[in-house]
Chain A
Amino acid sequence: MSKTGKITRRTLLGAAVLTTGAVAFGVYAYRKPHENPLAASDGDKQRSFTPYILVDAENTITIIAPRAEMGQGIHTTLAALVAEELNIPLAQAKVIHGPEGAAYYNRTMMEDGAPFAFFDKGLLPELARDTFGVAAKFLGIQGTGGSTSTIDAYDKMRRAGAAARIAFVAAAAQKWQVGPETLQCQNAQVSNPKTGKTLRFADLLQDAAAVELPESPRLKSPEEWTQLGKPQQRKDLREKVTGAPIYGIDIDLPDMLYGTVVLAPHLGGELVSADKAAALAVKGVKKVVAIKSSFGHGFGIIADNTWAAFQGAEALAPEWQPTSAAADTLALRNAHSDALKTDATFSMGNEGDAAAVLASIPSGELVSADYEVPYQAHFAMEPMNATAQLIGTKLTLWTGTQSPTLAKYACAGALGIENDDITVHTTLMGGGFGRRIDNDPALYAALLAVHTDGRPIKVTWTREEDSAHDYYRPMARARYQAHLSQSGKIHAISADIASQSVIGSFMARNFPSLASGGPERVVLDGSFDQPLSAENKAFNAHIVPTTVPAGFWRSVGYSFNAFFQQSFIDELAHAAGKDPLAFRLAHLTAPEHAPAVHLLKKLQEISAWDKPRPAGTGLGVALTASFGSWVAQTIEVTHEDGEIKLQNIWCVADLGIVLDPRMVRQQLSSAIIFGLGQAMEQDLTFSDGQINETNFDSFTPPQLYQVPPIHIELLANSPTMGGAGEPGVPPVAPALANAIYAATGDRHRSLPLGRHVAFS
């Protein structure tokens, strides 16, 4: 049964936003069915088998892992999908990102836009996912995000490996005039056990290429796996410990120029003044050019080296007219409070009639609380950068991007050239966390390349530009209200969430000519779609109109809604006089909640939840379901000499199928530390339209000494496969806030918690 309850017509409009996109691009995509982007290089020396496998005359196998490698280890895991079915050891294969192509579109990313809990497999949710999936096919957008890479690739890339293997076996069978079932295929060669004869893939290249690839080859069952499900060594390790030049910022081309950008504060107005002469007087600075785009406006500096470009930017010292919309943290906070006083923009996942029930009960008998989080910036370790070369109408880009397709769109539009005129080399990335789904770095590099007479130019942003021109995780404010029954169960609960539209902001800069609007699930992610049994539930979004640029930040809406909801559940447990973990278990009564029950029980055991702890020691728990995965965490803190010290973090996760347990554990651990950032010290404030925390001296992610031992357990009760990169983030902040409450008796309802307590 669908647990999302009433779906209003307006809710479904969320889908319409994306279908509009499909109409806009559909004709183009339809006329050009997804062709194999590797086919162009097919010849005597090399052959492609599906868009994922290249085999050359030296018997080198190259696997295309067409997703952004920004630390998750995705190139390794995706390549293992192919290697498993191709029956070659992963170590034997080379792995590359490969070219941009619609063949590499990400269906799962789009399907997840359907406004339902991932564990809700009812008719309507599945229908909506299908609709989104069809739109994805039409749009053909290659992108990395939403923790979807492994889910999306799971069948596609295993099928590719199997199909190629079958083709080589068929080619050998024909050559030897024997049945294919009599042959063996291993280590990129086919052998005949009867005759002892062996042929390498390279020897069979042209014959195998002539075999029609089966569309749905039989795939191994997980029991037959020899590589999947086991830890694989990352393919990029040696480069990463020897300082190899693998990132976009390391690109070095003959005759290359260097550049940087200095942009108007996002909300700033027109130019007041800029000292072009001073910039040009800097040794090594060659040109100062104006930049105008849907992403931002300002100047680009072209120079002989990066340092000269940075100095030129400083000397230029442009001043911009402030606008009435200039962001200011106090005003933004007020705008969010005000938004909560107005009617909801839309609702999702309502059941029963929470509003009526809560209105009928004297306010003294209700539990209510307001919560708030500030903006967050990405601060990927590698600052934004891109390299571009424009020769005639042909543009070549080298950039670390989460979407090479959107990089093409952005540059084609701005330069008035065709998408097909653009070649994108997607490099490895020094972190992304959602920032690199936007392609302003590539766009600005392309705009500067217009002025370099065909010479390539690498444009590196200063850290301050990177942070000042980020697409932020929005500020958000929540009001939760609930009524507890006599037995201490949630009788009715309502959430009102005020935040700005991430999708709206993203669409406006990436597709300025497309209208967007209507409900989007992002603002309510982590509220309406959580496992929580209650008769009456309401989740209302109050969209705040602001011009602060918003974007996707590791776990996006879940990163704040989990804090709101899991803090409030804790407050309800205490109000009901119940143990917070037992209280949660008591509200997981639907059959599809089973994985969550297992998580909490495991967590209870490994964190010794029930063991009495000394005064001043507190344990906090939180549970979230996001991106197809279930994650629960407990955090243990001590309160001593007025300081809070983190002692332990326990995490139990259920991703259904785990392709590489070590990589998954590392992603969970990484996500937990990322989550600690927003929970502990990272703040982001605005004055006069600009952010105040522009570098690592004021925007302070956790350091090594602040991170306690992290204990991770993986369970496998979830019936479907979940993502790995993001689901570890959401529970961290509420688990920590709940732990601090347990240790001190103080409830803190806003982040970062470092505003309220001193961490040691």
Chain B
Amino acid sequence: MHLTVNGKSHQLDADPQMPLLWALRDVLNVKGPKYGCGVAACGACTVLIDGEPMRSCSVPLEDVQGEIITVEGLADTDGTLSQVQEAWMDLQVPQCGYCQSGQILAATALLKENPSPSSEDIDDAMSNICRCGTYPQIRNAIETIAAHNQKQEG
């Protein structure tokens, strides 16, 4: 089996039924994607596959097609954080942080598709659960980026 994760290609020998999440975590030691529910209900395991946010706990390895980006792959190689990660730092979004790699990837995908999402767009796109209740901070971070993007365009 062959996987491209954060620009690196990997050959792995694993059960084709194994969910992508566990292949990433236990086989490839990519620990950013988190296990929260295993049934596509929480979003902690979110990764981008060809830019689309996917819940990796519910994608068997054999169905994976495309390039995988995890939270580890968002910063530049020199450590410069992505715009979303920066906003997450500035507004101090994370509490326990466990859901945040999924939240950051969901927000990244949203902003890529829609650089200045409305409040309703944010409501619709951000369905990952955060038990710490960081939703107001998440919303604030996305809105801050959206406002910035709008200014850039305008």
Residues of A within 8 A of B134 (CB): 666, 670
Check if B36 is an interface residue, CB within 8 A of chain A: yes
Check if B75 is an interface residue, CB within 8 A of chain A: yes
Check if A441 is an interface residue, CB within 8 A of chain B: no
A243 to B18, CA, bound (A): 22
Residues of B within 8 A of A72 (CB): 95
Residues of A within 8 A of B32 (CB): 242-243
A379 to B36, CA, bound (A): 9
Q: Do the beta carbons of B19 and A307 come within 8 Å of each other?
A: yes
> From residue A312, how far is it (CB to closest CB) to chain B in Å?
12
Q: Which of A105-113, A210-218, A229-237, A733-741 contacts B (4 or more CB under 8 A)?
A: A229-237
> From residue B54, how far is it (CB to closest CB) to chain A in Å?
16
Chain A 400-435: CB-based contact to B (< 8 A → 1; otherwise 0) = 000000000000000000000000000011111100
Residues of B within 8 A of A705 (CB): 123-124, 126-127
> From residue A661, how far is it (CB to closest CB) to chain B in Å?
12
A681 to B24, CA, bound (A): 33
Residues of B within 8 A of A674 (CB): 131, 133
B1-47 residues at the A interface, CB under 8 angstroms: 15, 18-19, 22, 25-27, 29, 31-39, 41-42, 44
Residues of A within 8 A of B42 (CB): 381, 696
Picked from A241, A284, A431, the residue with its CB within 8 Å of the CB of B132 is A431
**Interface residue tally of chain A, by bracket?**
35 or more
Chain A 618-631: CB-based contact to B (< 8 A → 1; otherwise 0) = 00000000000000
Residues of A within 8 A of B15 (CB): 283-284, 307-308
**Interface residue tally of chain B, by bracket?**
35 or more
Which chain B residue has the least Cβ–Cβ distance from A246? B97
Residues of A within 8 A of B74 (CB): 242
Check if A710 is an interface residue, CB within 8 A of chain B: yes
B50-88 residues at the A interface, CB under 8 angstroms: 70-72, 74-75, 81, 85, 88
Residues of B within 8 A of A305 (CB): 18, 22, 26-27
Chain B 121-154: CB-based contact to A (< 8 A → 1; otherwise 0) = 0111011011111111111000000000000000
> From residue B42, how far is it (CB to closest CB) to chain A in Å?
5
Picked from B81, B99, B133, the residue with its CB within 8 Å of the CB of A670 is B133
Question: Which of B36, B37, B71, B93 has the largest number of chain A CB atoms within 10 A?
Answer: B37
Contacts A72-B95, A243-B101, A704-B122 given: A673-B39 contact, CB under 8 Å?
no
Residues of A within 8 A of B99 (CB): 381, 430
Contacts A247-B98, A258-B26 given: A669-B133 contact, CB under 8 Å?
yes
Residues of B within 8 A of A702 (CB): 133, 135
Residues of A within 8 A of B34 (CB): 247, 249, 381-382, 430
Picked from A233, A697, A701, the residue with its CB within 8 Å of the CB of B92 is A233
A674-704 residues at the B interface, CB under 8 angstroms: 674, 676, 695-697, 701-704
Q: Do the beta carbons of B94 and A234 come within 8 Å of each other?
A: yes
A56-100 residues at the B interface, CB under 8 angstroms: 70-73
Judged by DSSP, the binding face of B is loop
Check if A462 is an interface residue, CB within 8 A of chain B: yes
Question: Which of B22, B70, B71, B92 has the largest number of chain A CB atoms within 10 A?
Answer: B92
Which chain A residue has the least Cβ–Cβ distance from B134? A670
> From residue A695, how far is it (CB to closest CB) to chain B in Å?
5
A246 to B34, CA, bound (A): 11
Residues of B within 8 A of A308 (CB): 15
Check if A380 is an interface residue, CB within 8 A of chain B: yes
Residues of B within 8 A of A670 (CB): 95, 132-134
> From residue B30, how far is it (CB to closest CB) to chain A in Å?
8
Residues of B within 8 A of A223 (CB): none
Chain A 421-454: CB-based contact to B (< 8 A → 1; otherwise 0) = 0000000111111000000000000000000000
Q: Do the beta carbons of B136 and A381 come within 8 Å of each other?
A: no
Q: Do the beta carbons of B31 and A696 come within 8 Å of each other?
A: no
Contacts A702-B133, A703-B129, A704-B123 given: A242-B96 contact, CB under 8 Å?
no
Which chain B residue has the least Cβ–Cβ distance from A72? B95
Residues of A within 8 A of B19 (CB): 307
Check if B100 is an interface residue, CB within 8 A of chain A: yes
Q: Do the beta carbons of A704 and B31 come within 8 Å of each other?
A: no
Question: Which of A71, A247, A383, A462 has the largest number of chain B CB atoms within 10 A?
Answer: A71
Residues of A within 8 A of B136 (CB): 669, 707, 709-710
A588 to B122, CA, bound (A): 42
Closest A-B pairs by Cβ, 6 of them: A243-B32, A673-B133, A430-B98, A71-B96, A240-B97, A71-B95
Q: Can you list 7 pairs linking A and B with CB atoms under 8 Å apart? A: A237-B92, A241-B88, A241-B97, A247-B34, A669-B133, A696-B129, A704-B130
- Chain A residues within CB distance 8 Å of chain B: 70-73, 233-234, 236-247, 249-250, 252, 258, 283-284, 305-308, 310, 379-383, 428-433, 460, 462-463, 662, 666, 669-674, 676, 695-697, 701-705, 707, 709-710
Having A382-B34, A702-B135, one finds 4 other A-B pairs with CB under 8 Å, namely A241-B89, A306-B22, A307-B18, A702-B133
